[in-house]
């Protein structure tokens, strides 16, 4: 079991940039382009790591610390993330809050780095990121509380054993609500389309991309890699709720999970190809909807 | 069957939330129509006693009035009176949705507390109460007369659902009478709003305040 947990962590480290590749490829296929290579993010990372970094004289150590702390925090959050019914490398009661706290720390580091540049543009992006994530975080906790209420444990590894095939047959309609809530949070927290467009630069509506404008070289590589890992993390939360585990052998579970992750990336690509970005005042409504879905599920299942 | 029923009840709860979150006339009327269609499906899923033809007829009647008739009348009123498409709430949309969730919690507590004799599904009574709450919330928290009619409709939907889940076959005729009353009410309101709209500049309820002294 320990070996499998380690394998899961290595899979996350190795395959997470591929998820971004799958999203981009889905979007390309739907819009009739051949698109960039599936492994483009790996190439980008290699290229960025080979470069040097340029720092503005107005920045301090906070700016340099941002990407490193961000990546470290996401890596730490990955350590408590279970996948496919296999417990995480580190599992203890209460690690669900540790996961959310580490995600918050990563965001805090990035926001501080953005504010440290003294650019009003980046400050604006930082303010939006802070405002939206302040709404997303309670919704995420609500969605995870559904698992807590069903399993009676605060450890992610033991929580995510829960929605088995039998549970889907018994309370499927309510479980769908949880999956939808988590998926909306995935889109929001990873700055995907209805909330933020990862492809736009120099546009006044962007959120996440605006904060990383002044980062370059290895720093940008860290940010990019941390973003990919965060996408993997949220996909695992969605897939863990959507795909029942306990199919028989651990290998089968693992394969189902990986297929689920691929499907999740394709779903994100489909959403991005079919939807336009929401106006900024509408984003809080979307996040409220995610929270409402989670609260509905919690109220019904926690009776 | 239980799974389908649960799915319908969860969808009804979601339509309640979308009634509260809708910011456009078109959207709120659509949400009310979807709720009507879902209610129309229920008599079939409840597998009532009596002949299949009677159930089908009942279902078709409910579906026709709540899912097609009312929305058509409301859309027609909106178009004739040239009501602006915004809803203009007194309470913000996000806060309304949160109040809707609070309504659901209260409903779950009420259901637990009342300990009602007949349970078709665990969710039916709370879905009914939540629909009634959302309807009343719409009535008190929106400015326009048409949205108040929709709130009234939602409240009636809740009463209908409550009656259906408590005594699936007994008070069907009573329900039909109530449905007819509501039908007349919506009809009259449509005409009244039409006339108010023709006589005055707006159908904004807030304007009535100036009549106070």
- DSSP bridge partners of A86: A83
**Which residues of chain A are within 8 Å of residue B123 when distances are taken between CB atoms?**
300
pLDDT at A65: 94
Sign of CA dihedral B30, B34, B37, B43: negative
Phi/psi of residue A34, each to 5°?
Answer: -85, -25
pLDDT at position A205, please?
A: 63
| Mutate which: B4, B14, B16, vs A, most A CBs within 10 A | B14
Q: Which of residues 82-121 of B touch A (CB under 8 A)?
A: 93-94, 97-98, 100-101, 104-105, 108, 112
Q: What is the DSSP string of B11-24?
A: HHHHHHHHHHH--B
Closest CA to B162 of B213, B107, B200, B212: B107
A166 touches chain B (CB under 8 A): no
Burial label, B174 (beta-carbon count in 10 A; 0-12, 13-18, 19+): exposed
> Residue B212: what pLDDT?
63
Token readout for A153 is 């444990």
- What's phi and psi for B65, nearest 5 deg? -75, -50
CB-nearest to A292 from B3, B17, B105 is B17
Query: What is the per-residue pLDDT across B148-189, written as a single tens digit (0 to 9) for each?
Result: 888 888 988 888 888 777 766 655 666 666 776 677 677 777
How many Cβ atoms are within 10 Å of B26's Cβ, its own excluded? 12
Taking the mean position of all CA atoms in its chain, how far away is CA A156?
16
CB-CB neighbors (< 8 A) of A295 in chain B: 101, 104
User: Three-state DSSP class for B85?
Assistant: coil
Q: What's the pLDDT at B172?
A: 64
What does the pLDDT read at residue A44?
94
Spatial separation of the C-alpha atoms in residues A278 and A205, rounded to whole Å: 10
Of the partner residues A284, A292, A303, the one whose CB lies closest to the CB of residue B101: A292
Using the Cα atoms of residue B86, residue B93, residue A297 and residue A232 in order, give the sign of their dihedral: positive
A137-146, B86-95, B103-112, B158-167 — most confident range: A137-146
Mean local confidence (pLDDT), B51-73:
84
Identify the burial level of A270 via C-beta atoms within 10 angstroms of its C-beta, where 0-12 means exposed, 13-18 middle and 19 or more buried: middle
pLDDT of residue A182: 96
As for the ipTM of the complex, it is 0.81
The two three-digit tokens of residue A281, written as one number: 């005042």
Q: What is the pLDDT of residue B65?
A: 84
Residue recorded with tokens 């178009």: B79
Closest of A6, A15, A10, A4 to residue A258, by C-alpha: A15
Phi then psi dihedrals of residue B204, to 5 deg = -75, 120
Beta carbons of A292 and B108 less than 8 Å apart: no
**Three-class secondary structure of residue A198 per DSSP:** coil
3-state class percentages of chain B: helix first, strand second, coil last, to nearest 5:
80, 5, 20
Chain B residue at shortest CA distance from A296? B101
Condensed to tens digits (0 to 9), the pLDDT of residues B188-197 reads 777 777 777 7
- B13: Cβ contacts below 8 Å, ≥ 6 apart: A296, B104, B127, B130
Is pLDDT at B14 greater than 80 in this prediction? yes
B10/A285 CB distance under 8 A: no
Q: How far apart are CA A99 and CA A82, in angstroms?
A: 11
Task: Report chain B residues whose CB lies below 8 A from the CB of A177.
Answer: 10
- Residue A143: how many CB atoms within 10 A of its CB? 28
Chain A within 8 Å of B7 (Cβ-Cβ)? yes
- Tokens for B24? 């456009």
Is A296's CB within 8 Å of B13's CB? yes
How long is chain B?
Answer: 213
Inter-chain touch A295–B6, beta carbons under 8 Å: no
> Which residue is associated with the tokens 């009619």?
B149
CA distance B76 to B73: 5
Q: What is the DSSP letter of B69?
A: I
Provide the terminal-to-terminal Cα distance of chain A, rounded to the nearest Å: 34
CB spacing of B14 vs A296 below 8 angstroms = yes
Region B136-147 average pLDDT: 87
What residues contact B68, with CB distance under 8 A and at least 6 apart? B33, B36
Cβ–Cβ gap A174/B112 under 8 Å: no
Q: Judge whether residue B100 has pLDDT over 70.
A: yes
Say what the pTM is: 0.89
End-to-end alpha-carbon separation of chain B, Å? 58
pLDDT of residue B201: 67
pLDDT at B202: 67
Mean of the pLDDT values across residues B89-100? 90
pLDDT band at B120 (very low <50, low <70, confident <90, very high): low
How do the pLDDT tens digits run along chain A, 303 residues long? 688 889 999 999 999 999 999 999 999 999 999 989 999 999 999 999 999 988 989 999 999 999 999 999 999 999 999 987 788 888 999 999 999 999 999 999 999 999 999 888 888 889 999 999 999 999 999 999 999 998 889 998 888 888 877 888 888 888 899 999 999 999 999 988 888 887 776 566 678 888 888 898 999 999 999 999 999 999 999 999 998 877 778 888 888 889 999 999 999 999 999 998 888 888 998 999 999 999 999 988 877
pLDDT confidence of residue A253: 84
Residues of chain A with Cβ-Cβ distance to B104 below 8 Å are: 295-296, 299
Please name the helix (run of DSSP H) or strand (run of DSSP E) that holds residue A23, with its range, or none: helix A2-30
Mean pLDDT of B45-49: 67
Alpha-carbon distance of A111 to A89, in angstroms, equals 29
Domain residue ranges in chain A: 2-301
């Amino acid at each position: 079991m320990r070996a499998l947990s380690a394998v899961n962590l290595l899979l996350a480290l190795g395959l997470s940039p591929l998820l971004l590749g799958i999203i981009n490829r889905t979007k390309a296929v739907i819009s009739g382009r051949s698109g960039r290579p599936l492994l483009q993010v790996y190439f980008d990372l290699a290229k960025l790591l080979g470069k040097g970094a340029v720092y503005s004289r107005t920045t301090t150590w906070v700016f340099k610390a941002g990407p490193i702390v961000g990546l470290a925090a996401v890596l730490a959050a990955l350590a408590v993330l279970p996948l496919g019914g296999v417990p995480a490398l580190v599992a203890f009661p209460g690690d669900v809050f540790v996961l959310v706290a580490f995600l918050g720390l990563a965001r805090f580091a990035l926001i501080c780095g953005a504010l440290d540049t003294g650019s009003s543009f980046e400050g604006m992006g930082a303010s939006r990121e802070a405002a939206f994530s302040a709404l997303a975080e309670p919704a995420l906790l609500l969605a995870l509380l559904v698992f807590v209420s069903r399993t009676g444990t605060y450890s992610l590894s033991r929580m995510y054993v829960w929605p088995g095939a039998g549970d889907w047959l018994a309370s499927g309609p309510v479980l769908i609500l949880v999956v939808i809530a988590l998926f909306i949070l995935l889109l929001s927290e990873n700055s995907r389309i209805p909330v933020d467009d990862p492809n736009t630069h120099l546009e006044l509506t962007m959120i996440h991309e605006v904060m990383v404008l002044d980062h370059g070289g290895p720093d940008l590589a860290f940010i990019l890699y941390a973003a990919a890992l965060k996408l993997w993390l949220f996909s695992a939360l969605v897939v863990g709720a959507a795909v029942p585990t306990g199919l028989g052998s651990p290998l089968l579970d693992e394969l189902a999970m990986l297929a689920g992750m691929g499907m999740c990336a394709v779903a994100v690509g489909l959403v991005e190809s079919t939807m336009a970005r929401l106006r900024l005042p509408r984003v809080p409504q979307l996040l409220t909807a995610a929270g409402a879905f989670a609260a509905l599920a919690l109220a019904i299942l926690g009776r | 069957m239980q799974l389908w029923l649960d799915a319908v009840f969860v969808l009804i709860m979601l339509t309640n939330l979308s009634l509260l979150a809708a910011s456009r006339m078109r959207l709120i009327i659509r949400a009310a129509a979807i709720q009507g269609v879902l209610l129309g499906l229920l008599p079939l899923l409840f597998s009532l006693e009596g002949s299949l033809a009677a159930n089908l007829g009942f279902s078709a009647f409910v579906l026709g009035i709540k899912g097609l008739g009312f929305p058509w009348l409301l859309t027609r009123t909106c178009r004739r009176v040239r009501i602006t498409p915004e809803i203009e709430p007194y309470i913000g949309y996000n806060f309304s949705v949160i109040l809707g969730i609070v309504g659901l919690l209260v409903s779950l507590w009420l259901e637990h507390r009342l300990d009602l004799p007949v349970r078709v599904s665990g969710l039916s009574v709370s879905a009914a109460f939540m629909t009634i709450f959302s309807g009343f919330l719409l009535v008190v928290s929106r400015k326009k007369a048409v949205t108040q009619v929709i709130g009234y409709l939602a409240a009636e939907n809740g009463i209908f659902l409550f009656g259906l889940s408590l005594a699936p076959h007994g008070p069907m005729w009573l329900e039909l009478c109530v449905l007819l009353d509501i039908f007349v009410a919506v009809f009259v309101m449509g005409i009244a709003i039409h006339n108010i709209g023709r006589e005055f500049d707006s159908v904004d309820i807030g304007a009535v305040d100036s009549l106070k002294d």
